[in-house]
Amino acid sequence: MGEIKTSFVNVAKRSPGVLYEPVQKNEKQRIAVLVMHSDEDYLLWPTGPELAKRGYTVLNANVMNKEGIIFSQIEKMQSVKAAVEYLRSLPQVEKIILMGHSGGGTLMSAYQAIAEKGPQIFQGPEKIYPYPSNEELLPADGIMLLDSNWGNAVMQLLSLDPAVEDENSGMLINEDLNLFNPINGFDKNGSTYTDEFIHHFQKSQSIRNIYILEYALSRLMKIKAGEGNYIDDEPLIIPGSAQGFFNNKLYAQDIRLMSRTQRPHLLLHPDGSRTEEIIHSLRQPENPNSFTNSFWEGARFLSVKTYLNSYAVRTADDYGFDDCHMWGVEWESTYNCPPGNVAHIDAPTLVMGMTAGWEFLASETIYDMAASKDKTIAFVEGATHKFTPAHHLEKFPGEFGDTMKTIHDYLDEWLSAGRF
């Protein structure tokens, strides 16, 4: 692999970037990859240097950020737009591929859907918060979603504690719904909940989700009518719903849930071999502690509008999930879930899942709903959500090999296969 050079780039106001380029000119550098996340700092994300070493031009960029300000997904879209325009301005770049990892899958899939089909696809009456801008966006030529989760809105749902009895406090808990009560099946070393408890938990999670959604919509109507607490927006604090893997509920504790794909898919092994098989999760039980009673760790601080346009999703009465799929989520009610977004994307689409990650099962749903006629799915054996080998799960040292290399070699293969 070749030597690379890096340059700091001011992509847009409050949106920095790092450009990774191969020193040696080559055919691949005409393909540029844009790496962004919806919230996190991705300037040093390994895909930048890894793909640059393989000959590609890569821009790792951050969405707009300022301490104390909550930016909506709509505002963050402007950072993606600026980054795409910057890459289009580089003389060596002919094709641009978006790469969204984890929550970045939400941002990148929404951007590409709007860029291809226009903002009207997200302005219908089925949307909780119709996309408010009619600005055209410059489309990319392809999209890669690597261990993308179900979307920021559904991850918010999966972090929601239905045991909360008072929307103004995290202190009052319904013990019948307490995930961490041993009576309900909790065990810090691995929980086994009954089917009855799982159903009760999921149904109550949906009921609370809809209650919060309807409350936020009612406050939005008040704000628009000039009867809100402020003229433009209002704060919204949701107890027991902080979004993040440490707050994922039910499937994190009971690893029988979301544990396998429905169908066989390509699995990349550390020795370079490949098989088609049902993909099983390698993860261990996680999140043994409740943060619901904590303001800083357990509550979600948003505004009414930011919640509605970035983190809300409708669920049906029968919402739930089992070992291999999720149901009862209205994917088209929001533009903050990749499964709904990819249904509007025609560009070549690559979906990859990491078998030691906690979000890998979303990859199959995203792939199934993708509209592209050129779509690919693959899973990486033993890779964590952050692409590193899951050494803590290895039966012997080095069992999972160099997962970072396995992942980026496959990206190289997909990018250089002639589709671009």
Residues 156-175: tens digit of each pLDDT: 999 999 999 999 999 999 99
Q: How far apart are CA 359 and CA 369, in angstroms?
A: 17
For the stretch 128-160, pLDDT in tens is 999 988 999 999 999 999 999 999 899 999 999
At 87, the amino acid letter reads L
- Which pairing describes strands 375-380 and 349-354: parallel, antiparallel, or unpaired? parallel
| pLDDT of 72 | 74
| pLDDT of 128 | 97
Q: How far apart are CA 304 and CA 299, in angstroms?
A: 15
| pLDDT of 411 | 98
| pLDDT of 251 | 95
Task: Say what the alpha-carbon torsion angle 11, 83, 65, 126 is, to the nearest 10 degrees.
Answer: 160
Give the domain ranges of the chain: 4-151+337-415, 155-252+287-331
| pLDDT of 154 | 95
| pLDDT of 76 | 85
| pLDDT of 118 | 96
| pLDDT of 39 | 85
| pLDDT of 56 | 98
CA nearest neighbour of 336 among 63, 76, 41, 45: 76
Instruction: Identify whether the C-beta of residue 143 lies closer than 8 Å to the C-beta of residue 341.
Output: no
Please give the model's pTM, rounded to 2 decimal places.
0.96
Q: What φ, ψ does residue 328 adopt, rounded to 5°?
A: 80, 15
Instruction: Identify whether the C-beta of residue 270 lies closer than 8 Å to the C-beta of residue 403.
Output: yes
Exposed/middle/buried for 5, CB within 10 Å: 0-12, 13-18, 19+?
Answer: exposed
Angstrom CA distances, 36 to 48, 335, 359, stand at 11, 17, 18
pLDDT tens across the length of the chain (420 residues) = 889 999 999 998 888 999 999 999 999 999 999 999 988 899 999 999 999 999 999 999 998 765 555 667 778 889 999 999 999 999 999 999 999 999 999 999 999 999 999 999 999 999 999 998 899 999 999 999 999 999 989 999 999 999 999 999 999 999 999 999 999 999 999 999 999 999 999 999 999 999 999 999 999 999 999 999 999 999 999 999 998 767 899 999 999 999 999 999 999 999 999 999 999 999 999 999 999 999 999 999 999 999 999 999 999 989 999 999 999 999 999 999 999 999 999 999 999 999 999 888 999 999 999 999 999 999 999 999 999 999 999 999 999 999 999 999 999 999 999 999
- Please tell me the CATH code under which domain 4-151+337-415 is placed: 3.40.50.1820
Count CB neighbours of 178 within 10 A.
18
Angle in degrees, 0-180, between the axes of helices 104-117 and 73-89, rounded to the nearest 10: 70
